[in-house]
Structure 1
Amino acid sequence: MKKVFLGIGALFILFVAGLVVLMTVDFNRLNKDTYYVHITSDGEVEEYKASDGQIFELYWYELPAINEKGEEMTLRFSAQKNLRHDAYLKLYVKKENEVSSYDEVQFDDMPAKVQKQLK
């Protein structure tokens, strides 16, 4: 009987640990290359209509991005709002040029090579 309770307890602990991992880990950022960009202009607005008739706006940006090694690449990504001018973003890139997510960062938090190129 003890073995049954130990087995059930172990399964419960694994289940709870799995839920915690699913709730806290952002898989859009996990094991992705990072690039940095400087927002200097408004994005191109694309409007689309949902099946219920509601109209949504998507803002597209195509900017030169720099990785931690100082290598430059032009990346195209979208945002659900017009991004703030003079903001610095950390882009998470998969499959060479597909941006999966981004975070706003402070200039001082970027690597030194990136700071030199984005000044």
Structure 2
Amino acid sequence: MKKFLIVVGILFALGVVGVFAITKIDFNRMNADNYYLQITEDGIPHDYKLDDGSVMTTYSYQLDATNADGKTIPLKFTAQKNLRKDAYLKMYVKKDDQVSSYDEVELEDIPNKAQKQLK
């Protein structure tokens, strides 16, 4: 009976850790390369009609992004809203050109080599 309670306690602890990991860790950003870019133009709107009849609009962008070493690549990505012009974004890129997530950052938060490419 004592061994059973220990096993149940360990499984409960693993379940709690698993739930915490699922809710708090952003797996889209894990093992992703960081690139930086500046929004210089409005996104291209795309309307999608949902099953309930409502319309959802997404905005697509195609901009050049630079990593901390100064390497520049073209990136295509979408956003749920039209992003603010002149905003700086930190892009999380997987498999060379697939954007998995992004954050808005300040110019001072961008590495120096990437800043020089963006100016």
Give the TM-score category using the shorter length: over 0.9
Q: Distance in 1 between matches of 2:80 and 2:6?
A: 48
Q: Distance in 2 between matches of 1:14 and 1:98?
A: 32
2:22 equivalent in structure 1: 22
Q: Distance in 1 between matches of 2:6 and 2:52?
A: 51
One-letter identity of the residue aligned with 1:73:
I
Where has structure 1 moved over 4 Å in runs of 4 or more?
none
Superimposed CA distance per residue, residues 91-117 of structure 1 (whole angstroms, 9 cap, x where no aligned partner): 111111111111101110111111111
Displacement of 1:24 after TM fit? 0.8
Q: Distance in 2 between matches of 1:24 and 1:32?
A: 17
Bigger CA drift: 77-86 or 2-11? 2-11
Is residue 115 of structure 1 aligned with residue 115 of structure 2? yes
One-letter identity of the residue aligned with 1:36:
Y
Aligned positions, number: 119
Q: Distance in 1 between matches of 2:13 and 2:47?
A: 46
Q: How does 1:1-119 map to 2 (within 5 A)?
A: 1-119=1-119
Q: Distance in 1 between matches of 2:9 and 2:58?
A: 47
Superimposed CA distance per residue, residues 47-83 of structure 1 (whole angstroms, 9 cap, x where no aligned partner): 1111111111111110010011110001010001000
Q: Distance in 1 between matches of 2:90 and 2:8?
A: 43
The root-mean-square deviation of aligned C-alpha atoms, in Å, is 0.8
TM-score of the aligned structures, taking structure 1 as reference length: 0.96
- What SS class does the counterpart of residue 26 from structure 2 fall into? coil
- What SS class does the counterpart of residue 86 from structure 1 fall into? coil
Unaligned runs of 5+ in 1: none
